[in-house]
Chains A and B, each alone.
Chain A
Protein backbone atom coordinates (compact mmCIF):
# COMPACT_ATOMS: atom_id res chain seq x y z
CA UNK A 1 0.00 0.00 0.00
CA UNK A 2 1.49 3.29 -1.08
CA UNK A 3 0.25 6.81 -1.22
CA UNK A 4 0.22 8.57 -4.58
CA UNK A 5 1.63 11.82 -3.37
CA UNK A 6 1.08 13.90 -6.51
CA UNK A 7 -2.55 12.92 -6.66
CA UNK A 8 -2.89 13.64 -2.98
CA UNK A 9 -1.56 17.17 -3.37
CA UNK A 10 -3.86 17.76 -6.35
CA UNK A 11 -6.83 16.41 -4.38
CA UNK A 12 -6.03 18.67 -1.45
CA UNK A 13 -5.83 21.70 -3.75
CA UNK A 14 -9.17 20.89 -5.36
CA UNK A 15 -10.71 20.32 -1.94
CA UNK A 16 -9.30 23.62 -0.69
CA UNK A 17 -11.00 25.38 -3.58
CA UNK A 18 -14.26 23.60 -2.83
CA UNK A 19 -13.94 24.52 0.83
CA UNK A 20 -13.53 28.22 0.11
CA UNK A 21 -15.78 28.67 -2.92
CA UNK A 22 -18.51 26.01 -2.80
CA UNK A 23 -18.91 25.07 0.83
CA UNK A 24 -19.98 28.55 2.07
CA UNK A 25 -23.12 28.12 -0.01
CA UNK A 26 -23.99 24.73 1.40
CA UNK A 27 -23.84 25.78 5.05
CA UNK A 28 -27.02 27.59 6.17
CA UNK A 29 -26.54 31.27 7.02
CA UNK A 30 -27.23 30.80 10.73
CA UNK A 31 -24.45 28.22 10.97
CA UNK A 32 -21.92 29.80 8.65
CA UNK A 33 -19.75 31.04 11.53
CA UNK A 34 -19.96 27.75 13.33
CA UNK A 35 -19.40 24.99 10.80
CA UNK A 36 -16.03 25.53 9.17
CA UNK A 37 -14.51 22.22 8.10
CA UNK A 38 -11.01 22.11 6.64
CA UNK A 39 -10.68 19.73 3.74
CA UNK A 40 -6.89 19.91 3.42
CA UNK A 41 -6.77 18.92 7.07
CA UNK A 42 -8.81 15.81 6.30
CA UNK A 43 -6.31 14.95 3.59
CA UNK A 44 -3.42 15.61 5.99
CA UNK A 45 -4.80 13.09 8.46
CA UNK A 46 -5.30 10.58 5.69
CA UNK A 47 -1.66 11.07 4.77
CA UNK A 48 -0.69 10.66 8.42
CA UNK A 49 -2.45 7.30 8.56
CA UNK A 50 -1.13 5.91 5.31
CA UNK A 51 2.26 7.50 4.71
CA UNK A 52 3.62 8.21 8.14
CA UNK A 53 4.15 11.18 10.37
CA UNK A 54 6.99 12.93 8.55
CA UNK A 55 5.19 13.28 5.25
CA UNK A 56 2.04 14.32 7.12
CA UNK A 57 4.03 16.98 8.95
CA UNK A 58 5.24 18.59 5.75
CA UNK A 59 1.85 18.15 4.10
CA UNK A 60 0.10 19.89 6.97
CA UNK A 61 2.75 22.58 7.06
CA UNK A 62 2.36 23.31 3.35
CA UNK A 63 -1.40 23.38 3.21
CA UNK A 64 -1.72 25.17 6.52
CA UNK A 65 0.59 27.86 5.22
CA UNK A 66 -1.41 28.06 2.00
CA UNK A 67 -4.62 28.53 3.97
CA UNK A 68 -2.94 31.21 6.09
CA UNK A 69 -1.55 33.12 3.13
CA UNK A 70 -4.68 32.92 0.98
CA UNK A 71 -6.85 34.53 3.60
CA UNK A 72 -4.18 36.60 5.26
CA UNK A 73 -6.17 38.33 7.94
CA UNK A 74 -4.53 39.04 11.27
CA UNK A 75 -1.44 36.88 11.11
CA UNK A 76 0.22 34.08 9.18
CA UNK A 77 1.11 30.79 10.81
CA UNK A 78 -1.82 29.66 12.94
CA UNK A 79 -2.96 26.93 10.55
CA UNK A 80 0.53 26.06 9.36
CA UNK A 81 1.53 25.38 12.96
CA UNK A 82 -1.72 23.60 13.91
CA UNK A 83 -1.96 21.35 10.88
CA UNK A 84 1.71 20.39 10.93
CA UNK A 85 1.52 19.51 14.62
CA UNK A 86 -1.75 17.57 14.42
CA UNK A 87 -0.55 15.76 11.29
CA UNK A 88 2.63 14.72 13.06
CA UNK A 89 0.81 13.64 16.24
CA UNK A 90 -1.79 11.69 14.27
CA UNK A 91 1.00 9.91 12.40
CA UNK A 92 2.70 9.14 15.68
CA UNK A 93 -0.49 7.80 17.27
CA UNK A 94 -1.44 5.69 14.27
CA UNK A 95 2.06 4.26 13.90
CA UNK A 96 1.81 0.57 12.99
CA UNK A 97 -1.98 0.63 13.18
CA UNK A 98 -4.00 -0.58 10.22
CA UNK A 99 -5.73 2.37 8.52
CA UNK A 100 -9.34 1.27 8.83
CA UNK A 101 -12.29 3.67 8.35
CA UNK A 102 -13.13 3.74 12.05
CA UNK A 103 -9.60 4.79 12.96
CA UNK A 104 -9.64 7.54 10.33
CA UNK A 105 -12.98 8.95 11.48
CA UNK A 106 -12.12 8.92 15.17
CA UNK A 107 -8.70 10.38 14.38
CA UNK A 108 -10.33 13.22 12.43
CA UNK A 109 -12.73 13.94 15.25
CA UNK A 110 -9.93 14.08 17.79
CA UNK A 111 -7.48 15.85 15.47
CA UNK A 112 -10.07 18.39 14.38
CA UNK A 113 -10.76 19.25 17.98
CA UNK A 114 -7.06 19.62 18.70
CA UNK A 115 -6.49 21.74 15.57
CA UNK A 116 -9.32 24.13 16.36
CA UNK A 117 -8.10 24.45 19.92
CA UNK A 118 -4.54 25.19 18.76
CA UNK A 119 -5.81 27.85 16.39
CA UNK A 120 -7.99 29.32 19.12
CA UNK A 121 -5.05 29.30 21.52
CA UNK A 122 -2.79 31.10 19.06
CA UNK A 123 -5.38 33.78 18.33
CA UNK A 124 -6.11 34.12 22.01
CA UNK A 125 -2.41 34.34 22.85
CA UNK A 126 -1.96 37.22 20.40
CA UNK A 127 -5.22 38.79 21.58
CA UNK A 128 -6.82 38.71 18.15
CA UNK A 129 -9.90 37.19 19.74
CA UNK A 130 -11.15 37.61 23.29
CA UNK A 131 -13.93 35.03 23.45
CA UNK A 132 -13.73 32.56 26.31
CA UNK A 133 -12.50 29.02 25.64
CA UNK A 134 -15.83 27.49 26.62
CA UNK A 135 -17.68 29.75 24.26
CA UNK A 136 -15.25 28.90 21.46
CA UNK A 137 -15.71 25.17 22.04
CA UNK A 138 -19.47 25.36 22.16
CA UNK A 139 -19.83 27.91 19.38
CA UNK A 140 -17.45 26.68 16.75
CA UNK A 141 -15.23 23.74 17.73
CA UNK A 142 -17.89 21.14 18.51
CA UNK A 143 -20.14 21.71 15.46
CA UNK A 144 -17.11 21.80 13.18
CA UNK A 145 -15.70 18.63 14.70
CA UNK A 146 -18.95 16.74 14.23
CA UNK A 147 -19.30 17.83 10.61
CA UNK A 148 -15.65 17.12 9.94
CA UNK A 149 -15.98 13.59 11.30
CA UNK A 150 -19.03 13.02 9.11
CA UNK A 151 -17.14 14.34 6.07
CA UNK A 152 -14.23 12.05 6.93
CA UNK A 153 -16.59 9.07 6.94
CA UNK A 154 -17.89 10.11 3.52
CA UNK A 155 -14.48 10.82 2.04
CA UNK A 156 -12.55 7.81 3.35
CA UNK A 157 -13.47 5.42 0.56
CA UNK A 158 -13.01 7.90 -2.31
CA UNK A 159 -9.63 8.78 -0.81
CA UNK A 160 -8.62 5.16 -0.57
CA UNK A 161 -9.70 4.43 -4.11
CA UNK A 162 -8.06 7.47 -5.67
CA UNK A 163 -5.00 8.12 -3.58
CA UNK A 164 -3.70 4.68 -2.66
CA UNK A 165 -1.79 2.43 -4.99
CA UNK A 166 -2.55 -1.08 -3.77
CA UNK A 167 0.13 -3.69 -4.06
CA UNK A 168 -1.25 -7.23 -4.12
CA UNK A 169 0.11 -9.38 -1.31
CA UNK A 170 1.61 -11.95 -3.72
CA UNK A 171 3.46 -9.26 -5.66
CA UNK A 172 4.85 -7.45 -2.66
CA UNK A 173 8.22 -9.11 -2.90
CA UNK A 174 8.42 -8.99 -6.69
CA UNK A 175 8.65 -5.22 -6.99
CA UNK A 176 10.99 -5.46 -9.99
CA UNK A 177 8.33 -7.22 -12.03
CA UNK A 178 5.81 -4.49 -11.18
CA UNK A 179 8.18 -1.75 -12.30
CA UNK A 180 8.82 -3.64 -15.53
CA UNK A 181 5.14 -3.83 -16.30
CA UNK A 182 4.43 -0.27 -15.24
Chain B
Protein backbone atom coordinates (compact mmCIF):
# COMPACT_ATOMS: atom_id res chain seq x y z
CA UNK B 1 0.00 0.00 0.00
CA UNK B 2 2.83 2.34 0.94
CA UNK B 3 4.54 1.23 -2.26
CA UNK B 4 1.51 2.17 -4.31
CA UNK B 5 1.34 5.61 -2.73
CA UNK B 6 5.06 6.11 -3.31
CA UNK B 7 4.71 5.14 -6.95
CA UNK B 8 1.84 7.48 -7.58
CA UNK B 9 3.85 10.24 -5.93
CA UNK B 10 6.85 9.40 -8.10
CA UNK B 11 4.80 9.34 -11.28
CA UNK B 12 3.11 12.59 -10.45
CA UNK B 13 6.37 14.23 -9.53
CA UNK B 14 8.17 13.13 -12.70
CA UNK B 15 5.42 14.15 -15.08
CA UNK B 16 5.98 17.81 -15.83
CA UNK B 17 9.73 17.83 -15.45
CA UNK B 18 12.14 18.55 -18.27
CA UNK B 19 15.47 18.90 -16.46
CA UNK B 20 17.46 15.85 -15.51
CA UNK B 21 19.38 15.24 -12.31
CA UNK B 22 23.05 14.26 -12.52
CA UNK B 23 22.23 10.63 -11.75
CA UNK B 24 19.84 10.41 -14.67
CA UNK B 25 22.36 12.11 -16.93
CA UNK B 26 25.04 9.68 -15.86
CA UNK B 27 22.81 6.69 -16.61
CA UNK B 28 21.85 8.16 -19.97
CA UNK B 29 25.42 8.74 -21.01
CA UNK B 30 26.88 5.44 -19.87
CA UNK B 31 24.15 3.48 -21.57
CA UNK B 32 24.33 5.76 -24.58
CA UNK B 33 28.01 4.96 -25.06
CA UNK B 34 27.37 1.22 -25.23
CA UNK B 35 24.20 1.56 -27.27
CA UNK B 36 25.97 3.61 -29.90
CA UNK B 37 28.52 0.82 -30.31
CA UNK B 38 25.72 -1.68 -30.93
CA UNK B 39 22.97 0.14 -32.80
CA UNK B 40 24.90 1.56 -35.74
CA UNK B 41 26.79 -1.60 -36.86
CA UNK B 42 23.69 -3.73 -36.54
CA UNK B 43 21.77 -1.12 -38.50
CA UNK B 44 24.40 -1.11 -41.23
CA UNK B 45 24.16 -4.88 -41.60
CA UNK B 46 20.37 -4.83 -41.56
CA UNK B 47 20.21 -2.12 -44.18
CA UNK B 48 22.75 -3.90 -46.36
CA UNK B 49 20.67 -7.06 -46.31
CA UNK B 50 17.54 -5.11 -47.13
CA UNK B 51 19.23 -3.21 -49.93
CA UNK B 52 20.43 -6.44 -51.50
CA UNK B 53 16.82 -7.57 -51.52
CA UNK B 54 15.62 -4.58 -53.49
CA UNK B 55 18.38 -3.93 -55.99
CA UNK B 56 16.00 -3.48 -58.90
CA UNK B 57 14.04 -0.94 -56.91
CA UNK B 58 17.24 0.95 -56.17
CA UNK B 59 17.94 1.11 -59.88
CA UNK B 60 14.61 2.81 -60.56
CA UNK B 61 15.06 5.07 -57.58
CA UNK B 62 18.42 6.11 -59.01
CA UNK B 63 16.75 7.21 -62.25
CA UNK B 64 14.28 9.36 -60.38
CA UNK B 65 17.01 10.85 -58.24
CA UNK B 66 19.05 11.79 -61.29
CA UNK B 67 16.12 13.73 -62.69
CA UNK B 68 15.62 15.41 -59.34
CA UNK B 69 19.27 16.44 -59.23
CA UNK B 70 18.98 18.01 -62.67
CA UNK B 71 16.00 20.00 -61.46
CA UNK B 72 17.92 21.00 -58.34
CA UNK B 73 20.74 22.45 -60.41
CA UNK B 74 18.28 24.77 -62.12
CA UNK B 75 16.63 25.72 -58.86
CA UNK B 76 20.01 26.41 -57.29
CA UNK B 77 20.69 29.20 -59.81
CA UNK B 78 17.28 30.69 -59.27
CA UNK B 79 17.76 30.41 -55.53
CA UNK B 80 21.12 32.20 -55.66
CA UNK B 81 19.62 35.12 -57.52
CA UNK B 82 16.67 35.34 -55.18
CA UNK B 83 18.86 35.14 -52.12
CA UNK B 84 21.11 37.92 -53.38
CA UNK B 85 18.15 40.09 -54.09
CA UNK B 86 16.63 39.25 -50.74
CA UNK B 87 19.84 40.29 -48.97
CA UNK B 88 19.92 43.55 -50.89
CA UNK B 89 16.30 44.32 -50.04
CA UNK B 90 16.83 43.50 -46.38
CA UNK B 91 19.74 45.95 -46.30
CA UNK B 92 17.70 48.56 -48.13
CA UNK B 93 14.85 48.16 -45.65
CA UNK B 94 17.25 48.30 -42.69
CA UNK B 95 16.37 44.97 -41.12
CA UNK B 96 17.77 44.54 -37.63
CA UNK B 97 20.49 41.98 -36.99
CA UNK B 98 17.94 39.83 -35.19
CA UNK B 99 15.61 39.74 -38.15
CA UNK B 100 18.45 38.88 -40.52
CA UNK B 101 19.61 35.99 -38.38
CA UNK B 102 16.10 34.66 -37.85
CA UNK B 103 16.08 31.94 -40.49
CA UNK B 104 19.74 31.01 -40.50
CA UNK B 105 19.40 27.53 -39.04
CA UNK B 106 22.26 25.24 -38.20
CA UNK B 107 21.86 21.49 -38.71
CA UNK B 108 23.63 19.10 -36.39
CA UNK B 109 23.99 15.59 -37.75
CA UNK B 110 23.20 13.04 -35.10
CA UNK B 111 23.28 9.26 -35.06
CA UNK B 112 20.45 7.31 -33.49
CA UNK B 113 21.76 4.96 -30.80
CA UNK B 114 18.74 3.21 -29.37
CA UNK B 115 14.99 2.85 -29.22
CA UNK B 116 12.69 2.61 -26.26
CA UNK B 117 10.55 -0.50 -26.07
CA UNK B 118 7.73 1.22 -24.26
CA UNK B 119 4.66 1.22 -26.54
CA UNK B 120 3.35 4.54 -25.23
CA UNK B 121 6.66 6.31 -25.35
CA UNK B 122 8.58 5.38 -28.49
CA UNK B 123 11.42 7.77 -27.71
CA UNK B 124 14.79 7.22 -29.30
CA UNK B 125 18.25 8.37 -28.28
CA UNK B 126 20.77 10.32 -30.29
CA UNK B 127 24.49 10.69 -29.76
CA UNK B 128 24.58 14.48 -29.35
CA UNK B 129 24.04 16.22 -26.04
CA UNK B 130 24.29 19.53 -24.25
CA UNK B 131 27.99 19.65 -25.06
CA UNK B 132 27.21 19.76 -28.78
CA UNK B 133 24.69 22.53 -28.41
CA UNK B 134 21.51 20.46 -28.28
CA UNK B 135 18.78 21.94 -26.09
CA UNK B 136 15.28 20.84 -25.13
CA UNK B 137 12.43 21.44 -27.60
CA UNK B 138 14.69 21.55 -30.67
CA UNK B 139 13.22 20.06 -33.83
CA UNK B 140 14.63 16.80 -35.16
CA UNK B 141 14.23 15.85 -38.81
CA UNK B 142 15.38 13.30 -41.33
CA UNK B 143 15.92 14.02 -45.01
CA UNK B 144 12.21 13.16 -45.49
CA UNK B 145 10.73 15.44 -42.88
CA UNK B 146 10.10 16.23 -39.24
CA UNK B 147 10.37 13.25 -36.89
CA UNK B 148 10.38 14.64 -33.41
CA UNK B 149 11.32 17.06 -30.70
CA UNK B 150 14.26 16.82 -28.31
CA UNK B 151 12.70 16.00 -24.95
CA UNK B 152 15.63 15.44 -22.57
CA UNK B 153 19.25 16.43 -22.83
CA UNK B 154 22.20 15.06 -20.91
CA UNK B 155 25.87 15.86 -21.49
CA UNK B 156 26.66 13.51 -24.38
CA UNK B 157 23.32 12.09 -25.46
CA UNK B 158 19.74 13.26 -25.71
CA UNK B 159 16.29 11.72 -25.96
CA UNK B 160 13.96 12.57 -28.83
CA UNK B 161 10.21 12.33 -28.50
CA UNK B 162 8.84 11.28 -31.88
CA UNK B 163 5.90 13.19 -33.36
CA UNK B 164 3.78 10.06 -32.94
CA UNK B 165 3.51 10.98 -29.25
CA UNK B 166 1.59 14.17 -30.03
CA UNK B 167 -1.60 14.18 -28.03
CA UNK B 168 -3.61 17.29 -27.18
CA UNK B 169 -5.08 15.63 -24.08
CA UNK B 170 -1.72 14.73 -22.62
CA UNK B 171 -0.45 16.90 -19.79
CA UNK B 172 2.83 17.29 -21.68
CA UNK B 173 1.17 18.31 -24.93
CA UNK B 174 3.14 20.04 -27.67
CA UNK B 175 1.64 21.45 -30.86
CA UNK B 176 3.43 22.38 -34.07
CA UNK B 177 2.18 25.34 -36.06
CA UNK B 178 1.99 24.42 -39.71
CA UNK B 179 1.13 25.70 -43.15
CA UNK B 180 0.92 24.31 -46.68
CA UNK B 181 3.75 24.43 -49.22
CA UNK B 182 3.00 27.12 -51.80
CA UNK B 183 0.23 28.64 -49.66
CA UNK B 184 2.41 29.84 -46.81
CA UNK B 185 0.69 33.18 -46.35
CA UNK B 186 -2.86 31.86 -46.66
CA UNK B 187 -2.93 28.63 -44.72
CA UNK B 188 -2.48 28.10 -41.03
CA UNK B 189 -3.19 25.22 -38.69
CA UNK B 190 -1.80 23.39 -35.71
CA UNK B 191 -0.60 19.81 -35.90
CA UNK B 192 -1.35 18.53 -32.42
CA UNK B 193 -2.41 14.90 -32.55
CA UNK B 194 -1.38 11.55 -33.90
CA UNK B 195 -3.90 8.79 -34.34
CA UNK B 196 -2.29 5.45 -33.60
CA UNK B 197 -5.24 3.59 -35.08
CA UNK B 198 -4.96 5.18 -38.54
CA UNK B 199 -1.32 6.29 -38.53
CA UNK B 200 -2.23 9.88 -39.45
CA UNK B 201 -1.56 13.27 -37.91
CA UNK B 202 -4.39 15.68 -37.26
CA UNK B 203 -4.05 19.34 -38.12
CA UNK B 204 -6.69 21.44 -36.39
CA UNK B 205 -7.77 25.07 -36.02
CA UNK B 206 -7.86 25.67 -39.78
CA UNK B 207 -9.91 28.62 -40.95
CA UNK B 208 -13.12 27.61 -42.84
CA UNK B 209 -12.07 29.80 -45.79
CA UNK B 210 -8.65 28.22 -45.96
CA UNK B 211 -7.51 27.18 -49.47
CA UNK B 212 -6.02 23.94 -48.10
CA UNK B 213 -6.70 20.94 -50.34
CA UNK B 214 -6.10 17.23 -50.35
CA UNK B 215 -2.62 16.43 -51.57
CA UNK B 216 -1.07 19.63 -50.23
CA UNK B 217 2.29 19.23 -48.54
CA UNK B 218 2.22 20.43 -44.95
CA UNK B 219 5.32 22.15 -43.60
CA UNK B 220 6.16 23.83 -40.31
CA UNK B 221 5.34 27.52 -40.41
CA UNK B 222 7.97 28.80 -37.99
CA UNK B 223 5.52 31.22 -36.46
CA UNK B 224 6.56 31.84 -32.90
CA UNK B 225 10.23 31.41 -33.82
CA UNK B 226 10.70 28.55 -31.37
CA UNK B 227 10.34 25.99 -34.10
CA UNK B 228 12.16 26.33 -37.44
CA UNK B 229 10.09 26.88 -40.55
CA UNK B 230 9.93 24.89 -43.76
CA UNK B 231 10.32 21.34 -42.47
CA UNK B 232 8.01 18.88 -44.23
CA UNK B 233 5.50 17.18 -41.95
CA UNK B 234 3.33 15.26 -44.40
CA UNK B 235 0.63 15.25 -47.05
CA UNK B 236 -3.04 16.08 -46.57
CA UNK B 237 -5.24 13.06 -47.19
CA UNK B 238 -8.57 14.38 -45.96
CA UNK B 239 -10.15 17.63 -44.86
CA UNK B 240 -13.26 17.77 -42.68
CA UNK B 241 -15.21 20.05 -40.35
CA UNK B 242 -13.83 20.00 -36.81
CA UNK B 243 -15.44 19.07 -33.50
CA UNK B 244 -17.40 22.28 -32.92
CA UNK B 245 -18.11 23.12 -36.55
CA UNK B 246 -16.24 26.41 -36.35
CA UNK B 247 -12.91 25.32 -37.77
CA UNK B 248 -11.67 22.63 -40.11
CA UNK B 249 -9.34 19.75 -39.38
CA UNK B 250 -7.18 17.85 -41.82
CA UNK B 251 -5.69 14.35 -41.71
CA UNK B 252 -2.05 14.24 -42.66
CA UNK B 253 0.02 11.27 -43.76
CA UNK B 254 3.50 11.56 -42.21
CA UNK B 255 6.35 12.20 -44.65
CA UNK B 256 9.01 10.52 -42.61
CA UNK B 257 9.21 7.06 -41.09
CA UNK B 258 9.65 6.91 -37.35
CA UNK B 259 11.45 3.61 -37.00
CA UNK B 260 14.68 2.10 -38.29
CA UNK B 261 16.24 5.56 -38.30
CA UNK B 262 20.01 5.94 -38.39
CA UNK B 263 20.83 9.53 -39.14
CA UNK B 264 18.78 12.54 -38.07
CA UNK B 265 19.36 16.29 -38.05
CA UNK B 266 18.84 18.49 -35.04
CA UNK B 267 17.78 21.95 -36.20
CA UNK B 268 19.35 24.75 -34.19
CA UNK B 269 17.41 27.98 -34.31
CA UNK B 270 19.72 30.97 -33.90
CA UNK B 271 19.79 32.10 -30.32
CA UNK B 272 17.68 35.22 -30.12
CA UNK B 273 19.34 36.71 -27.04
CA UNK B 274 22.79 36.11 -28.47
CA UNK B 275 21.95 37.76 -31.77
CA UNK B 276 20.63 40.79 -29.99
CA UNK B 277 23.64 41.33 -27.81
CA UNK B 278 25.95 40.91 -30.80
CA UNK B 279 24.08 43.48 -32.83
CA UNK B 280 25.62 46.92 -32.66
Q: Which residues of A contact B (CB under 8 A)?
A: 17-26, 29, 32-34, 36-38, 66-67, 69-81, 84, 116, 119-120, 122-123, 126-131, 135-136, 139-140, 144
Contact = CB atoms under 8 A, between A and B. Distances in A.
Nearest to A123: B120
B125 interface: yes
Contacts of A66: 27
19 contacts: A17-B38, A25-B43, A25-B45, A32-B259, A34-B119, A36-B118, A36-B119, A69-B24, A71-B118, A73-B118, A73-B120, A74-B165, A75-B15, A77-B11, A79-B118, A129-B167, A135-B196, A135-B197, A136-B119
A76 B119 CA distance: 14
Interface residues of B, number: 47
A85 B62 CA distance: 53
A contact face: mostly helix, strand, loop, or mixed? helix
B125 to A, nearest CB: 7
Contacts of B121: 71, 73-74, 128
A73 B165 CA distance: 10
B151 interface: yes
A25 B260 contact: yes
A126 B120 CA distance: 12
B42 A25 contact: yes
Contacts of B24: 69, 72
B26 to A, nearest CB: 10
B220 interface: no
Interface stretch (B51-59, B168-176, B200-208): B168-176
A131 B118 contact: no
B197 A71 contact: no
Contacts, number: 143
Given A20-B35, A77-B14, A128-B170, A69 B27 contact: yes
Contact of B119 (A23, A130, A140): A140
B253 interface: no
Interface in B51-75: none
Contact of A127 (B3, B114, B170, B260): B170
B197 A73 contact: no
B7 A72 contact: no
Nearest to B20: A72
Q: Which 5 A-B pairs have the closest CB atoms?
A: A73-B121, A71-B116, A21-B38, A76-B14, A32-B259
B129 to A, nearest CB: 14
B170 to A, nearest CB: 5
Given A74-B172, A127-B170, 5 more contacts: A33-B196, A37-B117, A70-B27, A71-B118, A123-B120
Nearest to A139: B196
B159 A73 contact: yes
B223 interface: no
B122 A74 contact: no
Contacts of B125: 71
B266 interface: no
B198 to A, nearest CB: 11
Contacts of B164: 33
A110 to B, nearest CB: 18
B114 A122 contact: no
Contact of A130 (B43, B45, B169, B171): B169
Interface in B104-123: 113-123
Contacts of A77: 7, 10-11, 14
Contact of B167 (A36, A71, A130): A130
From A29, A74, A116, residue with most partner B Cβ within 10 Å: A74
B272 interface: no
Given A36-B119, A123-B120, A21 B169 contact: no
Given A20-B117, A36-B117, A70 B167 contact: no
A21 B126 CA distance: 12
A127 B173 CA distance: 11
B260 A32 contact: yes
A21 B161 contact: no
B120 A21 contact: no
B186 to A, nearest CB: 32
Contacts of A69: 24, 27-28
Interface in B186-232: 196-197
Contacts of A120: 119-120
